[in-house]
A and B are shown apart, each in its own frame.
Chain A
């Protein structure tokens, strides 16, 4: 568990109302660090998110939408956002149905940049 990554995820959860947890994984679905509730199987979620992100990447390729930024999956009880972190990693953010999407949109980009920096530079 990387403390700098955990600090970023905790900070994001503190800043954005409605985030219930998050994790960082490699692009092929191996868990790197997580800040999730006890009932969430982080390893499993990392693998599923990687598979979903892979399909999303193919989708933006065949539709010529440019580089993939994120996917958003919404259910009745909340949503799951999966972000690409560079070419090598991903971040999953879980939120309840009251998640502040405007705040998430504003806060996620700088957090992703810092997480990308931590992953590649160890800073």
Chain B
């Protein structure tokens, strides 16, 4: 079978098949191979022309390994979440490159990881639970291992394990296991969500109708140019210049940038 299996849910994902093998799993819940390579300073040989200083190109074998690692991690991310529905499409679209993996093996390993995470004392939901450094834990010194130090630096009460995985180029499973252990160790805590704004006095912050926002402009930060009601834009910071030919135009563009 060649095609795609769409797992709809949160985070959901798409399994790409070629000749019965899974060649890629794409999900918002786990970083793909490109992210893993780019963040870690390694890049695929095909992108070497765009690489900056210090980037290291990788060979086809290593690229295959990274793709496989990313596919296993993505399958875990899909299965640890909720799947509301599945849709199978055969033979459509260009499938991503990759050596491929047997679907049974991929699913078995993903489910093993889900079970392993759930047996931890304080298991985290990788794409939902936002974590913060626990009161009393020192962000700078409490880390120990490199991955723990990175997690402590990024755990700001907004980020989930999934967000930290994207930011650090680690697999989401590895981050989720470590975060769960750090929750149990008292280094991290789940952030309390304050989403409900009910009960607060609500006032319009924009005037009704198309009146110029003069009141809003009065409270503008100093770094922003003041907008004059009825004016056509910010006051020019420098005398207006007029281009006489293409060379002048290029210089104007350069000085404006």
Contacts and interface: CB of A to CB of B under 8 A. Distances in A.
Contact of B204 (A11, A26, A100, A119): A119
Interface string A10-35: 11011001101100001111111100
B224 A30 contact: yes
A78 to B, nearest CB: 9
A21 B159 CA distance: 11
Contacts of B31: 97-98
B202 A4 contact: yes
Contacts, number: 108
B108 interface: no
A61 interface: no
B206 A14 contact: no
B210 interface: yes
B96 to A, nearest CB: 15
B190 to A, nearest CB: 13
B235 interface: no
B162 to A, nearest CB: 7
B195 A10 contact: yes
A18 B31 CA distance: 11
B4 interface: no
Interface residues of A, number: 44
B166 A17 contact: no
B146 interface: no
Contacts of B200: 3-4
B103 to A, nearest CB: 23
Interface string B18-35: 000000000111111011
A83 B59 CA distance: 41
B163 interface: yes
Contact of A96 (B156, B163, B194, B220): B163
Contact of A2 (B35, B205, B227): B205
Interface of B: 10-12, 27-32, 34-35, 38, 127-128, 156, 158, 162-163, 166-167, 193-197, 200, 202-206, 208, 210, 213, 216-217, 219-221, 223-225, 227
5 contacts: A37-B158, A44-B223, A98-B30, A100-B11, A119-B206
